[in-house]
C-alpha cells in the first residue's frame, strides 16, 4: 500500500472553554490564537538570531552533538540536544510544549537553510567564467556538485543571488549567513511538535446541532472514526488546545483549555488518518491546516492498455487524446530495451479514438499576462518612491505625500501578487481536475505528460501570453495528487520531437509542416500541422498522440524515483497512431455533448446536486472587507495607507464545481463566441469554474473501441 498525504484547510468559527463551557466567539478566539502564534514567533526568532552563524549551521549539518551522539530526527529534540533551547520572553509564562513548538519551527527553518547552503556552496564552487551563461562543461560540473533533486529554478535563484552579491561586494559570498538575513518565520502554531499536554484532536462521534456552542464538550473525546461511509454528512473534528487568555501570560492561570469544533471539508475521505494541525490567522479568520494521510493501493507502472496523453500548449493549457494498445500480449508491452529510439512493434498498435480533448485557458492566460504587467509597473513605482524618500528630509512639504504614495504602491503590489497566486492556483487545480476526470470517464489507467525538465531545456519560451512554467508545475502536482486518489498512474515521457514528427506515418522520420491554419496551407505558422501522408491536425493534438504512443509503447522502460515516487520513461519508443471510430451510439453521445458543452459525467466520489435545489446557497453576509472602509494597515509602515479601490484585497476565484456558484466576472454576452443566453448556450463554467476556460465536455465512454485482437486494420468499430 502507498500513502497519500495532503493538507485540508479548515476554518474554525468559535470555541468553548473546557472548564466552564463558556462560549468563546470568533473574534476572541482569533485574538487568543494570535497571541500564541506571536509568542512562538518571538521565541523562534530569538533562536534563529542567536544561531544564524556558519559555525552553528555546521554543527547542525554534522548530525552529531558535542557528546558524539547522533542528533534526533525531530527538530525540537535536535535543537535541545545542541543546547540551543529557548526561554520564554521576560516575565511571561509559557508551557513547556509551547517552547517545543518554537524550537521545532526554528529547527525547520535552519534545516531548510542547510539545503540552501549546500546548493550555494555548489554554485560558488563551480562559478562560471562568464556568469551570464554556463558552458556545457560548467553545467556538468555544477550538476555533479549539487545534491540530487535540485530543480532548475533553485539553481537559477541561487545564481541570481550570488551574482547580486558579487556586484555589490566584489566577491563570492562565504556562507548563506553572509548572503541572507535571519530567516523570517510565519506567525503560526505548529501543533505537530506538541503532545496531549497542549493539544488533542479527535473525531466528533455525532455532529452537534450548534458546533462549538454546545456545553460539556469533554464528552466528545475518545470517539473512533465517524460512523457511516460515503457522504452521510460532514465530518466534524474536536480540537482541544491550551490557549493564553492574555497577550503576555504570567502564570499557569492565564492559560485555559479551549475546545474548538470545526468541520472537515468533504474531500477528506472518512477513512483518512488525521495528524496534529497547524493554526494560523488569515484575514481575521482562524485557519486550521489539517494534514491527513490516506492509504492507497499501489498503481502498477506497466500493463496499461488505455492511456491519456496530454500536451502543453502555449495558451491552450492542455490538449489530450485517449489511445488504446490493441494487443496487450504483443511486443508493445515488453518493448525493446536499450535500443534508444526504436520503431513501433509490428503487432501492438496504438489506436486513438480521434477525439481531441482540450482545456483552453487563452482568456485566463491573457488576464494573467495583464496582471503580471501591472505587477511590474507597481513594483517600479514603489521602488521609485523608495529611492526618492531618503533624498528628502522630514520637514520637506512633500515628505508625507511621498510616504503615502510609497505605502500605497507597496500595498497594491502585494495585492496584485496575491491575485496572481490565487488565479494560478485556481487554474491549475481546475485543469488537473478536468484532466483526471477525462481519464476516469474514458477508462484510462495512466496519464502521460511531457517531462517539464526536458521541455524547458528545449526553450519553448516565446510570446508574452504564454502560461508560465509555474502554472505547469502546479498542474503536474495537482494531476499527480488527483490521479493517485483515482488509482491512475502518472508517467512523464521525453518531450523532444513530439510536435516535430507525424504521428500517423514515418515513426520519427516524417517531419511535420507547421502552418497558420488548415485553409492557408502555404503560410508558415505555429498552430496547424500537416504531413505529406494527408494528416492535417491541430499541432498540440498531433503532439498528444505522439506522447500517448511513446508512453504506451515504452511502458517497460518506466522508472520510479525512490524519493518522490514520480514515474518517468526516459527512452523514446516510437510508434504510429491509427484512428478508429467509436460505436455509433457513443459517437452520437459525443456529438450531443459537443453541441451543448455539458458533461454527462459526475465524479464517483462527490455528491450530486441536491434534489429540488435550483440554486446555490447564498453566502452569509460577513464583515465588510477593510478596503471598503478605505483604510488598511501596511506592513512596515507606522500609519495607515489607503489603497486604491481598483485593487480589491480579496477577489474570489471559485473552485471547480458541478453545482457551485458563478465566479466573479461577466456572463458571456449574447453573440459572444463563448456562448449566449439562448438555448444553445455553452456553459463552460459549470465544470472549470471559469467562464472563459473552454474545456471539452467529460463524457463516460467505453475503453473498448477500435479493432478486436487479431484484426489487422483498425477501420470498423466493434
Ligand atoms: Zn504523416
Distance 344 CA to ligand 1 centre (A): 15
- pLDDT interval class at 248 (50, 70, 90): very high
339, pLDDT greater than 70: no
* Residues, CB-to-ion distance under 5 Å, ligand 1: 502, 504-505, 510, 531, 533, 535
Q: 348 or 717: whose pLDDT is higher? A: 348
pLDDT of residue 640: 40
Distance 504 CA to ligand 1 centre (A): 5
- State the cell numbers at 499: 510536435
153, pLDDT greater than 80: no
Distance 529 CA to ligand 1 centre (A): 10
Distance 502 CA to ligand 1 centre (A): 5
SS3 state of residue 312 = strand
Closest CA to 184 of 125, 106, 131, 237: 106
Query: Taking the chain, what is the end-to-end CA distance rounded to the nearest angstrom?
Result: 37
Asked if 455 contacts 475 with a C-beta cutoff of 8 angstroms, the reply is no
- CA gap 102, 653 in Å, rounded: 34
pLDDT of residue 41: 95
Distance 323 CA to ligand 1 centre (A): 18
Distance 712 CA to ligand 1 centre (A): 20
For residues 606-644, one letter each, b for 16 or more C-beta atoms within 10 angstroms of the residue's C-beta and e for the rest, the string is eeeeeeeeeeeeeeeeeeeeebeeeebebeeeeeebebe
Q: 212 or 559: whose pLDDT is higher? A: 559
Q: 244 or 462: whose pLDDT is higher? A: 244
Q: For 324, which DSSP code?
A: E
- State the cell numbers at 383: 521602488
- pLDDT interval class at 639 (50, 70, 90): very low
Average pLDDT, the chain: 80
Distance 715 CA to ligand 1 centre (A): 18
682, pLDDT greater than 60: no
Distance 353 CA to ligand 1 centre (A): 17
- What number is the average pLDDT over the span 15-28? 93
Q: 292 or 640: whose pLDDT is higher? A: 292
SS3 state of residue 560 = strand
pLDDT of residue 210: 46
Distance 555 CA to ligand 1 centre (A): 24
Distance 509 CA to ligand 1 centre (A): 9
Cell 507502472 belongs to which residue?
Answer: 301
pLDDT of residue 16: 94
- pLDDT interval class at 262 (50, 70, 90): very high
Distance 179 CA to ligand 1 centre (A): 55
- What number is the average pLDDT over the span 163-181? 87
Closest CA to 492 of 454, 522, 457: 454
Cell 480579496 belongs to which residue?
Answer: 650
Distance 459 CA to ligand 1 centre (A): 25
pTM comes to: 0.76
277, pLDDT greater than 90: yes
Distance 508 CA to ligand 1 centre (A): 10
- What number is the average pLDDT over the span 678-695? 67
Distance 392 CA to ligand 1 centre (A): 69
pLDDT in tens, 411-435: 999 999 999 999 999 999 999 999 9
**Length of the chain, please?**
718
- State the cell numbers at 7: 493538507
Instruction: Report the range of poorest mean pLDDT among 219-223, 342-346, 556-560, 620-624.
Output: 219-223
Task: Give Cβ neighbours of residue 387 (< 8 Å, ≥ 6 apart).
Answer: none
Rg (CA), the chain: 29
Distance 574 CA to ligand 1 centre (A): 14
Distance 306 CA to ligand 1 centre (A): 23
Closest CA to 240 of 191, 292, 186: 191
- pLDDT interval class at 614 (50, 70, 90): low
pLDDT of residue 455: 62
517, pLDDT greater than 50: yes
Judged by phi (left if over 0) then psi (alpha if -120 to 50, else beta), residue 695 lies in: beta
Q: 262 or 344: whose pLDDT is higher? A: 262
672, pLDDT greater than 50: no
Distance 535 CA to ligand 1 centre (A): 6
pLDDT of residue 581: 84
Q: 150 or 587: whose pLDDT is higher? A: 587
Distance 356 CA to ligand 1 centre (A): 18
Distance 541 CA to ligand 1 centre (A): 14
pLDDT of residue 713: 52
Q: 576 or 710: whose pLDDT is higher? A: 576
pLDDT of residue 501: 85
The Cβ of residue 137 has, within 10 Å, a number of other Cβ atoms equal to 10
For the ranges 191-200, 315-324, 409-418, 561-570, the one whose mean pLDDT is highest: 409-418
Q: 717 or 566: whose pLDDT is higher? A: 566
pLDDT of residue 135: 80
Distance 534 CA to ligand 1 centre (A): 6
pLDDT of residue 527: 85
Distance 573 CA to ligand 1 centre (A): 17
Question: Is residue 106 exposed (0-12), middle (13-18) or buried (19+ Cβ within 10 Å)?
Answer: buried
Q: Chain centroid to CA 334: how far?
A: 35
278, pLDDT greater than 90: yes
- pLDDT interval class at 689 (50, 70, 90): confident
SS3 state of residue 22 = coil
Distance 512 CA to ligand 1 centre (A): 7
Distance 267 CA to ligand 1 centre (A): 45
Distance 503 CA to ligand 1 centre (A): 6
Q: 602 or 195: whose pLDDT is higher? A: 195
pLDDT in tens, 477-500: 999 999 998 999 999 998 888 888
Distance 510 CA to ligand 1 centre (A): 6
Distance 539 CA to ligand 1 centre (A): 13
- CA gap 301, 412 in Å, rounded: 47
- pLDDT interval class at 600 (50, 70, 90): confident
pLDDT in tens, 580-598: 888 888 889 888 888 877 7
- CA gap 15, 240 in Å, rounded: 9
- CA gap 50, 63 in Å, rounded: 19
pLDDT of residue 343: 38
624, pLDDT greater than 90: no
pLDDT in tens, 447-468: 999 887 666 544 444 444 456 6
Q: 359 or 337: whose pLDDT is higher? A: 359
Closest CA to 82 of 118, 122, 110: 110
Amino acid at each position: 500500500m502507498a500513502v497519500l498525504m495532503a493538507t485540508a484547510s479548515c476554518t474554525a468559527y468559535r470555541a468553548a472553554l473546557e472548564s466552564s463551557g463558556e462560549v468563546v466567539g470568533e473574534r476572541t478566539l482569533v485574538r487568543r490564537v494570535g497571541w500564541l502564534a506571536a509568542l512562538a514567533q518571538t521565541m523562534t526568532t530569538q533562536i534563529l538570531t542567536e544561531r544564524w552563524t556558519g559555525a552553528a549551521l555546521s554543527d547542525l549539518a554534522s548530525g552529531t552533538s558535542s557528546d558524539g551522539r547522533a542528533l534526533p530526527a525531530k527538530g525540537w529534540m535536535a535543537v535541545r540536544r545542541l543546547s540551543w533551547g529557548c526561554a520564554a520572553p521576560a516575565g511571561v509564562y509559557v508551557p513547556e510544549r509551547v517552547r517545543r513548538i518554537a524550537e521545532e519551527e526554528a529547527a525547520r527553518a535552519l534545516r531548510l537553510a542547510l539545503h540552501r547552503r549546500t546548493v550555494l556552496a555548489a554554485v560558488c564552487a563551480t562559478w562560471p567564467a562568464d556568469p551570464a551563461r554556463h558552458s556545457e562543461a560548467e553545467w556538468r560540473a555544477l550538476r555533479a556538485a549539487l545534491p540530487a533533486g535540485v530543480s532548475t529554478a533553485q539553481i537559477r535563484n541561487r545564481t541570481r543571488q550570488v551574482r547580486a552579491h558579487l556586484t555589490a561586494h566584489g566577491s563570492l559570498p562565504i556562507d548563506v549567513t553572509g548572503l541572507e538575513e535571519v530567516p523570517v518565520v510565519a506567525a503560526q502554531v505548529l501543533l505537530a511538535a506538541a503532545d496531549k499536554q497542549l493539544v488533542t484532536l479527535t473525531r466528533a462521534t455525532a455532529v452537534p446541532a450548534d458546533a462549538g456552542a454546545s456545553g460539556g464538550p469533554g464528552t466528545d473525546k475518545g470517539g473512533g472514526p465517524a460512523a457511516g461511509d460515503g457522504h452521510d454528512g460532514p465530518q466534524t473534528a474536536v480540537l482541544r488546545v491550551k490557549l493564553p487568555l492574555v497577550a503576555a501570560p504570567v502564570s499557569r492561570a492565564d492559560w485555559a483549555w479551549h475546545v474548538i469544533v470545526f468541520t472537515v471539508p468533504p474531500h477528506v475521505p472518512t477513512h483518512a488518518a488525521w495528524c496534529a494541525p497547524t493554526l494560523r490567522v488569515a484575514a481575521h479568520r482562524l485557519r486550521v491546516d489539517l494534514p491527513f494521510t490516506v492509504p492507497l493501493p499501489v498503481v502498477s507502472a506497466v500493463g496499461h492498455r488505455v492511456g491519456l496523453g496530454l500536451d502543453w500548449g502555449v495558451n491552450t493549457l492542455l490538449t489530450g487524446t485517449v489511445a488504446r494498445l490493441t494487443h496487450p500480449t504483443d511486443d508493445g508491452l515488453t518493448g525493446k530495451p536499450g535500443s534508444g529510439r526504436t520503431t513501433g512493434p509490428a503487432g501492438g498498435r496504438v489506436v486513438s479514438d480521434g477525439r481531441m480533448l482540450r482545456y483552453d485557458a487563452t482568456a485566463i492566460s491573457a488576464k494573467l499576462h495583464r496582471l503580471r504587467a501591472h505587477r511590474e509597473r507597481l513594483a517600479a513605482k514603489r521602488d521609485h518612491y523608495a529611492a526618492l524618500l531618503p533624498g528628502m528630509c522630514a520637514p520637506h512639504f512633500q515628505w508625507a505625500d511621498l510616504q503615502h504614495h510609497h505605502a500605497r504602491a507597496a500595498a497594491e503590489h502585494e495585492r496584485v501578487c496575491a491575485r496572481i497566486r490565487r488565479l494560478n492556483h485556481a487554474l491549475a487545480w481546475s485543469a488537473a481536475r478536468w484532466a483526471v476526470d477525462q481519464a476516469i470517464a474514458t477508462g484510462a489507467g495512466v496519464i502521460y505528460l511531457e517531462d517539464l525538465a526536458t521541455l524547458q531545456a528545449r526553450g519553448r519560451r516565446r510570446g508574452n501570453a504564454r502560461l508560465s512554467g509555474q502554472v505547469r508545475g502546479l498542474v503536474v502536482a495537482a494531476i499527480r495528487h488527483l490521479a493517485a486518489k483515482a488509482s491512475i498512474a502518472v508517467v512523464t515521457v521525453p518531450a523532444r520531437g513530439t510536435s516535430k514528427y507525424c504521428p500517423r506515418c514515418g515513426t520519427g522520420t516524417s517531419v511535420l509542416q507547421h502552418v497558420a491554419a488548415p485553409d492557408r496551407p502555404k503560410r508558415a505558422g505555429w498552430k496547424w500541422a500537416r504531413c505529406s501522408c494527408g494528416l492535417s491536425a491541430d499541432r498540440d493534438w498531433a503532439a498528444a498522440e505522439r506522447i500517448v504512443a511513446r508512453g504506451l509503447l515504452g511502458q517497460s522502460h518506466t522508472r520510479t524515483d525512490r524519493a518522490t515516487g514520480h514515474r518517468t520513461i526516459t527512452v523514446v519508443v516510437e510508434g504510429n497512431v491509427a484512428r478508429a471510430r467509436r460505436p455509433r451510439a457513443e459517437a452520437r453521445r459525443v456529438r450531443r455533448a459537443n453541441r451543448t458543452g455539458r458533461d454527462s459525467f459526475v465524479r464517483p466520489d462527490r455528491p450530486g446536486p441536491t434534489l429540488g435545489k435550483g440554486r446555490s446557497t447564498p453566502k452569509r453576509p460577513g464583515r465588510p472587507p477593510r478596503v471598503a472602509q478605505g483604510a488598511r494597515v501596511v506592513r512596515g509602515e507606522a500609519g495607515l495607507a489607503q489603497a486604491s479601490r481598483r485593487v480589491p484585497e480579496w477577489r474570489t476565484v471559485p473552485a471547480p464545481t458541478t453545482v457551485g456558484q458563478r465566479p466573479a466576472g461577466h456572463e458571456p454576452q449574447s453573440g459572444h463566441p463563448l456562448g449566449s443566453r439562448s438555448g444553445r448556450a455553452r456553459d463552460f463554467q459549470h465544470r472549470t469554474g471559469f467562464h472563459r476556460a473552454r474545456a471539452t465536455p467529460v463524457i463516460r465512454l467505453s475503453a473498448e473501441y477500435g479493432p478486436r485482437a487479431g484484426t489487422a486494420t483498425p477501420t470498423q468499430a466493434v
